[in-house]
Structure 1
Amino acid sequence: MTSDPPPDPGPPASPRPVPPAPPRSLRSRLRVPVPVLAAVRPPVFAGRLHDARTATAVGRWLGAAVAVCFLTGLISHYLQHPPPWAADALPSRPVWGYRLTQGLHVATGLAAIVLLLVKLWAVYPRLFLWPPLRGVRHALERLSVAVLVAAAVMEVFTGLLNIVQWYPWPFGFIQTHFALAWVVAGSLLLHVAVKAPEIRAHWSRSSPGTRQLAPEDGPDRRSLLLGAGAAVGAVTATTVGQAFTPLAALDLLGPRHPGHGPQGLPVNRTAAAAGVGPERLRDWRLEVRGPLPYSLTLPQLRALPRAGARLPIACVEGWSKEARWSGVRVRDLLARAGAPPGAGLRVTSLETGGAYRVTEMGRDYAEDPLTLLALELGGQELSLDHGYPARIIAPNRPGVLQTKWVTLLEVL
């Protein structure tokens, strides 16, 4: 049986022309489809060492630095600005007390800058967690962290600018620095309380949370911590010489060198800056007000019994140096004016302005035999920048209160 052949289909039909697509605007070409937008997520940080163990290890160092800086800062603040009830309770011993505490304050503050940067590097991926807020408790936690980071960054960097005496802001440094210190301390304690379980889990190598980490991260973490420690050591070694004079030769980054300045002692405020010149000293006399007021010319003051003392002068910017001073004991000047036992003292400078033109000292300082109205430094007459013709030098006292160009003493 045979089948019939299929019918001839004929010539193929020509394809129907497709009209060209209308030109798309740049805006329409850049528009991302909705499904693609739905798939966009914040970046994923899978890098090593951005973990709780690293943050905890660095945080221990940073917490110690902040604690020392905070406590020594309180000492400095209350020595400079004592409340009325504490004015007569401030001790004049040990003579090197303020030199030690303020040197530690600046040294730990500089170390905290390095540690804070490392800490922020270790935890910054948490800023991109998704969703950013997972409830009221999480929102409050993130708010507290934001306050802590902002206050800490501002505190350490304004402190850094203060030690170089640069104030590019309209607010008062001392009041702001003091208030921020309490904000940092409070927010840090809150942060530690909230994170206590996580900190405990990663505190040491044997902690449960630490054992769960990848073992290959251990060498890298140790390298990071060694690098951070080396950076802190380098910053400390090249700045602490401004207060710890055995390391003065390494004082490469410190704003002051303890041996640079008139008569081998640094100067923060010069006579020119204070508006004190030869014309203002032409008729200089020391006036002492009390129950038996009197005044002295410079030759008369020099003729009084002398005393000497080897005392450090320590500045709030962190530098300090010990020097040999000679002059008249303040307690002898007050006794001549009829001051009763336990009297305090107000000191007025010849300078034309400044926050410390007038200072006060409590009875422990006024009665201390080492508190002098100094006339000589290192066996030489005071230079004008060091307070000629007379200045205050007292033990355990901030440099801003060691008044220069003294013209008036008042019994309190």
Structure 2
Amino acid sequence: MKSRLPLPPPPTALLPTFRGRLHDKRTATAIGRLLGVAMLVCMVTGVISHYLQHPPSWLADVLPSEPSWGYRLNQGLHVGVGIAAIPLLFGKLWTVYPRLFVWPALRNVRHALERLSVAVLVAGAVFELLTGLLNTVQWYPWPFSFVPVHFAVAWVLTGALLLHLAVKWPDIKAYWWQRSAATRALPAEPENAPDRRSLLTGLAVAVGAVTVTTVGQSFTPLKDVDLLAPRHPDHGPLGVPVNRTAMQAGLTHVDSVAWRLTVVGPRPYELTLDELAAMEQSEVELPIACVEGWSKNAHWTGVRIKDLTERAGAPGAALRVISLEQHGAYRVMDMGRTYARDPRTLLALRLNGHTLTADHGYPARIIAPNRPGVLQTKWVTRLEVR
């Protein structure tokens, strides 16, 4: 009797097979809506931040100086929510990565648009969150200028997100609030298998952890647990952090006797430091808030900008402010009329009751409400009425 040859093993699939509730559309939608809200907040606050830093000419004179803490809140949200979005992005990518192995790769036009939107969406989201995170520590290991590229990619990311929502709307609608029949039909999981609730709880813990340990750099009630943020709001000369030091600006020594404030206008004039200090001094409580996400409320003393422009024959006029610093993207700053007219906008000489330190802009610096820190020009030497 002839022996029967063993049958060959069944062919193995060329692509992996994924099963389980943690890679289904319902889970992807649950994480995606949280990530979508975070991206929306980052986009809105990012646009506000950009136009406060780089206002077009038609907007410069109408930007509001109220509320005084507006930019502090805006940038704190932008950076805080951006950092919180990082674990959400990783969770979303982990949930949907099996879709990379779907075959055929392109089934129809709708599927091709979906894949295109996903490719741009993932690349844009990773780029924005990575470069934004590195900006908080002022590390720029790339050859391009951060601000314009970050802003431009944000619009590309927004377009990709809108395209993705359009092509995926049927799935999003079906899985937004309730289980679908397809989800209920999945085979039962072992009792000890990870489930959706566990995944979402883990993501919530991760988001909470990175938020609590970083947001204290702007939300000072949590400053004592500010463990992972690059800035602590109390660490710096006179209890206020510093981004750009006098050494970095090439101003290790300023001769206070030789220093002059030049004010150019219909009635130009110059003031020595002693003459400036002899003028009526105003005191204000205003935050210094920087684009990197940190902020600190402080007590400032100095001469009102509106008094200086009025003496030059142009009360409340827009200004160009020029620093002693010879290099730097913000050594020349334009100030619109709304800020120049605000009585809280000062050419400050003192901080928290002490003479300004060199790192804080000695002998004089700008402080104004609702303005990015990069526009609170330090080492001021010249004001030009515009």
Residue identity in the other structure for 2:15:
P
Q: Please show how residues 261-300 of structure 1 align to structure 2 within 5 Å.
A: 261-278=236-253, 281=256, 283-300=258-275
SS in 2 for 1:376: strand
The answer to whether the 8 A contact 1:373-1:392 is kept is yes
Pairing partner for 1:367 from 341, 350, 361:
341
Alignment pair present for 1:196 and 2:139: no
Shift of 1:215: 6.4
Alpha-carbon separation, structure 1, partners of 2:166 and 2:186 = 23
Pairing partner for 1:334 from 309, 316, 322:
309
| Structure 2 alignment gaps of length 5 or more | 1-7
Shift of 1:200: 1.1
- Note the alpha carbon deviations across 1:217-275, whole angstroms, 9 max, x for none: 99710010010001000000000000000000010000100000000000000000001
Aligned residues: 377
Distance 1:282 1:271, change over 3 A: farther
2:150 aligns to what?
177
2:376 aligns to what?
402
- Note the alpha carbon deviations across 1:175-230, whole angstroms, 9 max, x for none: 11000111111111111111111011111235555544556599710010010001
Pairing partner for 2:202 from 202, 208, 227:
227
Distance 1:313 1:292, change over 3 A: same
TM-score after normalising by structure 1: 0.88
Distance 1:215 1:295, change over 3 A: farther
Alpha-carbon separation, structure 1, partners of 2:37 and 2:66 = 26
Residue identity in the other structure for 2:281:
R
| Structure 1 alignment gaps of length 5 or more | 1-34
The answer to whether the 8 A contact 2:76-2:294 is kept is yes
Alignment pair present for 1:187 and 2:156: no
Residue identity in the other structure for 1:95:
S
Residue identity in the other structure for 1:363:
R
Query: Where has structure 1 moved over 6 Å in runs of 4 or more?
Result: 35-38
Alignment pair present for 1:308 and 2:304: no
Alpha-carbon separation, structure 2, partners of 1:279 and 1:93 = 34
Distance 1:228 1:261, change over 3 A: same
Superposition RMSD in Å: 1.9
Alpha-carbon separation, structure 1, partners of 2:224 and 2:331 = 34
Pairing partner for 1:101 from 53, 56, 74:
74
The answer to whether the 8 A contact 1:68-1:108 is kept is yes
Residue identity in the other structure for 1:86:
L
Alpha-carbon separation, structure 2, partners of 1:233 and 1:210 = 29
- Note the alpha carbon deviations across 1:48-87, whole angstroms, 9 max, x for none: 4101011000001100000001000001000000011100
The answer to whether the 8 A contact 1:201-1:208 is kept is no
- Note the alpha carbon deviations across 1:142-174, whole angstroms, 9 max, x for none: 112101111111110000000000000001100
1:393 aligns to what?
367
Shift of 1:97: 0.3
**Percent identity for Structure 1 against Structure 2:** 67
Alpha-carbon separation, structure 1, partners of 2:106 and 2:208 = 39
Alpha-carbon separation, structure 1, partners of 2:166 and 2:106 = 20
Q: Please show how residues 151-170 of structure 1 align to structure 2 within 5 Å.
A: 151-170=124-143
2:326 aligns to what?
352
Distance 1:288 1:37, change over 3 A: farther
Pairing partner for 2:219 from 202, 219, 244:
244
SS in 2 for 1:192: helix
